[in-house]
Amino acid sequence: MGTSISRRSFLTGAGSVAALVASAGLSGCAPKKRDTSESETTSVASSESSWLGSAPTIDKSSITDVLSCEVLVVGCGTSGNFAACSAAEHGANVIAIEKGGRGAGVRGTIGAIGTKWQIANGTNIKATDICHDIERYSASAVNSRLTNLWASQSAETVEWYGDLNIAAGRDFVICSDNDLSAEEQSGYYRHWATGHAVVQDGKTMEDDTVINAYAVKKGVDFHYFTKMVELVKENDRVTGIIAQDENRNYIQINASKGVIVCTGGYAHNQDMLSTLQPDTMQIFSYNSGLPNAQGDGIRACIWAGSDFDATHTSMLFDRCPLGPNQVAGKDMTQGMFWMGSQPWLKVNLAGERFADESTPYDFILHASSKQPDHTYCTIYDSNYEQYVYQFKTQGCSRMFPFENGAPVSAMTLDVVKGINAQLLEKGILQQADTIEELGQKLNIPPDKFAETVKHYNQLVASGTDTDFGKESFRLSPVDKPPYFGIRQTGYLLCTMDGVPINEDMNALDPDGNPIKGLYVCGNDSGSFFSHSYPDLVPGLACGRSATFGRRAGRIAASM
Ligand SMILES: Cc1cc2nc3c(=O)[nH]c(=O)nc-3n(C[C@H](O)[C@H](O)[C@H](O)COP(=O)(O)OP(=O)(O)OC[C@H]3O[C@@H](n4cnc5c(N)ncnc54)[C@H](O)[C@@H]3O)c2cc1C
């Protein structure tokens, strides 16, 4: 979640976005200005317009081709695929453009409630309960109507997607532990069995082969290596886009019913990230975002008069390894320490425990932002394997099959052991026969660290974490040498803030009015996440993208 400069400006809402657009010389499509003081307008514009830039001025004579359709989908990843299919199913003539040689695919875990597979499994999730929990992650700084919309419509979307894959010879599973005890659902770790996944040959799939083939069959006209440059607006309506085709020629694509923008957020736009999310920048060291997530869609929408979320949020997972001399944010690195999301003992660089470790993925990262160098060490012992089973974590941190037989969504424990062996060989993961030696290898004060481990082991033996309240089944002693430790921080997957939308997926201007002809889905859209990503609602990001993409396609087609 980003604050500082951006928060100050976007909290003022309409005035700030209007000022930015106006400062970029786009008076023709600038949103209406609210009362904003001159000094604020000036400082906001000068501090932030570098990431926003201005809409390119494209000479009409340089446009080499003009295409026309009813519904235009921009970006063919998760939400774009669903949008294109449903627009075509509802009779629209659809063009879908994609910057890459193929779309980003549909992500592995897709979240829904009330599907026929959940009902058959006895998984009954009450919509109001899960919506309240999702909203708690954001302190309700979201549009609750959208949360409820996902809850009420996700089953239809995910059943449609599951049936499509089953018809193509794949399996479709839910990831569920039916045997969770009250304690396993307590504390921070309240979990919802929302995850669904396509499975082939016993493995979860992350591709778009099936949905893409269906879209082609339905007549969607795909254009690859075609990049949206800006939206075209006539009077108060978005009527199409200007794009660059594979030869970098400008083309215009007119869309009589609507443009659905689905370009996947801004995880790889350094200017946007560092200006809008300075605090996020301090708690990750590896960016695993998709390379085309450059903020193209969000910026084009703002140029065309859209608002932008007031808080800026990323999906962060606590699995980035750091070397024993590295610190979060400053030392960029690569790779995964997949066991980072296990609730092992975690200590700061002073050798002290600082939080309950049994939390959603990004909570420990936000907690580490209050610790020296925003960096912490994860500590475990040679009995770790038994504890991984005992901890029974959910979502993609899970390294063994779910109780209903569904495979892990990402990495098995065997694969993770192989990765850890490499980390050890590279001197990133540390191994030692004594706790003091481990402290020395991690470059943390060995005496203080030994004191912390001794105290922690006493808490484990007592069965009660009187310091931070971690559940008793997630307390594991550090008493069987050799011991292991690693410095770590987070890795970034995607950004989660964007253009505010209404229930029709229509982009909103700073006064809250829908912009005709402009729909926004997936990571480009806002109003749904703030501060944190609710990873204990597995597949929520993908489920929201799919459900709202499908809805946008239908609504745009019916205009
Ligand atoms: C590695 C990884 C794994 C993830 N796994 C999960 C998961 O299992 N479950 C989950 O819920 N969430 C997951 N997420 C989060 C994920 O980002 C969302 O769930 C969701 O897929 C976002 O969908 P989207 O349509 O917004 O963007 P994407 O699926 O990223 O698609 C955006 C598309 O737009 C294209 N594009 C970009 N700019 C332009 C342009 N100017 N013109 C034309 N095309 C453009 C891109 O090339 C891309 O194909 C994961 C994210 C990452 C990075």
- CATH annotation of 316-492: 3.90.700.10
Q: Read off the pLDDT band of 49 (50, 70, 90).
A: low
The alpha carbon of 270 and the centre of ligand 1 are apart by a number of angstroms equal to 17
Residue 109, pLDDT above cutoff 60? yes
Q: Is the pLDDT of residue 8 over 50?
A: no
pLDDT at 38 over 80: no
Model pLDDT, residue 258 = 98
Q: Which of 33-37, 241-245, 441-445, 506-510 has the lowest mean pLDDT?
A: 33-37
Q: 35-51: b or e for each residue (b if 16 or more CB lie within 10 Å)?
A: ebeeeebeebbeebbeb
With a CB cutoff of 8 Å and minimum separation 6, the contacts of 434 are 481, 483
Is the confidence at residue 6, as pLDDT, over 50?
no
Residue 376 Cα to ligand 1 middle (Å): 29
pLDDT at 531: 94
Tell me which residues have their CB closer than 6 angstroms to ligand 1.
74-80, 97-100, 103-104, 107-109, 111, 227-228, 262-264, 288-290, 292-294, 296, 315, 493-494, 522-524, 539-542, 545
Average pLDDT estimate for 269-294: 96
Ligand 1: centre distance to CA 317 (Å): 16
As a whole number of angstroms, the distance between CA 444 and CA 348 comes to 8
What is the arithmetic mean of pLDDT over 196-203? 93
If you take atom 31 of ligand 1, which residue's CA is the nearest one?
77
Average pLDDT, the chain: 91
Higher pLDDT among residues 490 and 177, named by residue: 490
**How far apart are the C-alpha atoms of 405 and 391, rounded to whole Å?**
18
Predicted structure pTM score: 0.92
- The pLDDT of residue 4 is 29
End-to-end CA distance of the chain, in Å?
Answer: 36
Q: What is the mean pLDDT of residues 120-131?
A: 95
- Mean pLDDT of the 502-523 span: 98
Q: Quick one: average pLDDT of 351-362?
A: 97
| 159 has a pLDDT exceeding 60 | yes
The size of the chain, in residues, is: 559
* 18 pLDDT higher than 80: no
Distance of CA 473 to the CA centre of its chain: 29
Choice from 206, 259, 290, 408 to test ligand 1 binding pocket (greatest atom count within 8 A of CB): 290
> In the CATH scheme, what is the code of domain 1-35+55-313+499-559?
3.50.50.60
Tokens of 320: 């980035």
What confidence category does residue 207 fall into, taking pLDDT thresholds of 50, 70 and 90? confident
Task: Report the separation in Å between the CA atom of 494 and the middle of ligand 1, taken as the mean of its atom positions.
Answer: 8
| pLDDT tens profile 472-491 | 999 999 999 999 999 999 99
Burial of 370 (0-12, 13-18, 19+ CB in 10 A): exposed
Distance 448 CA to ligand 1 centre (A): 44
pLDDT at 180 over 90: no
Percent of the chain with pLDDT over 70: 91
Ranges 26-35, 137-146, 215-224: which has the least confidence: 26-35
Task: Report the C-alpha gap between 461 and 86 in whole angstroms.
Answer: 56
How is 135-193 classified by DSSP, letter by letter? HHHTTT-S-HHHHHHHHHHHHHHHHHHHHHHHHTT-EEEE---TT--TGGG-TT-----
Is the pLDDT at 11 greater than 70, yes or no?
Answer: no
- What string of DSSP letters covers 305-337? T----SSB-EEEEEEEEE-TT--TTTS------
Cβ within 8 Å of residue 433, ≥6 positions away: 481, 482, 483
308-332 pLDDT, tens digit per residue, is: 999 999 999 999 999 999 999 998 8
Cβ(175)–Cβ(196) below 8 Å: yes
Name the segment(s) of the chain with CATH classification 3.90.700.10. 316-492
Helical (H) or strand (E) element with 485: strand 483-495
Quote the crossing angle between the two packed helices 209-217 and 144-167, to the nearest 10°: 90
Cα(325)–Cα(264) distance, rounded to whole angstroms?
34
Strands 227-234 and 237-244: antiparallel
Give mean pLDDT, residues 274-281.
96
Residues of the chain with CATH 3.50.50.60: 1-35+55-313+499-559
71-84 pLDDT per residue, tens:
999 999 999 999 99
pLDDT tens-digit readout, 412-460: 999 999 999 999 999 999 999 999 999 999 999 999 999 999 999 999 9
- pLDDT given for residue 429 in this prediction: 97
CB 410 within 8 A of CB 396: yes
pLDDT at 182: 87
Cβ atoms within 10 A of the Cβ of 368, count? 25
Both tokens of 274, joined, read: 């560092």
Strand partners, 317: 491
Judged against a pLDDT cut of 70, whether residue 47 lies above it is answered with: no
Structure tokens at 316: 């962060």
DSSP tag of 411? -
State which ligand 1 atom lies nearest to the alpha carbon of 300: 41
Distance 498 CA to ligand 1 centre (A): 13
